[in-house]
Amino acid sequence: MIIGKMFEFEAAHQLPDEECYGQCSELHGHTYKLLVEVQGGINDKGWVMNFKDLKAIVKEQIIDKLDHSFLNKYFKISTAEIMVIEMANLLHSALPKEVGLYSLTLWETSTSYAKYIIS
């Protein structure tokens, strides 16, 4: 079974001053959306895990650090692809042992995203 929870945070970043990044090499911000999907069996309580617990883990590991931040403090190159992989690494060890991380999808804009499928 797979369950998911959506999160939103505001942050600014600046990609390196290289021709391939174009206008993104200027300081700018986004309203990021993050979909965290976890997988596991349905336990005796009738769920994979409590959504409240999933929210607390993601908030502690990612949202509280990145919301209203300058992402270049946390990522060498703050592309959606690099960010979503590093977010997955943070969450992997924080989840209960019976729950596995399935995928993370990070929207940088309403039409552009990176999806990292772990399983």
**Distance separating alpha carbons of residues 5 and 55, to the nearest angstrom:** 7
Residue 59 has pLDDT above 90, yes or no: yes
| pTM confidence score | 0.94
Average pLDDT estimate for 19-24: 84
pLDDT of residue 114: 98
Mean pLDDT of the chain: 95
Q: For the sheet containing 2-13, what is the strand order?
A: 69-70, 2-13, 28-39, 100-107, 113-117
pLDDT of residue 35: 98
Predicted confidence (pLDDT) per residue in 101-113, tens digit: 999 999 999 999 9
Predicted confidence (pLDDT) per residue in 31-42, tens digit: 999 999 999 999
Q: Hey, is 107 helix, strand or coil?
A: strand
pLDDT of residue 67: 98
Confidence band for 19, pLDDT divided at 50, 70 and 90? confident
As a whole-number percent, the residues of the chain with pLDDT over 70 amount to: 99
Element (H, E) at 53: helix 51-58
Average pLDDT estimate for 51-66: 98
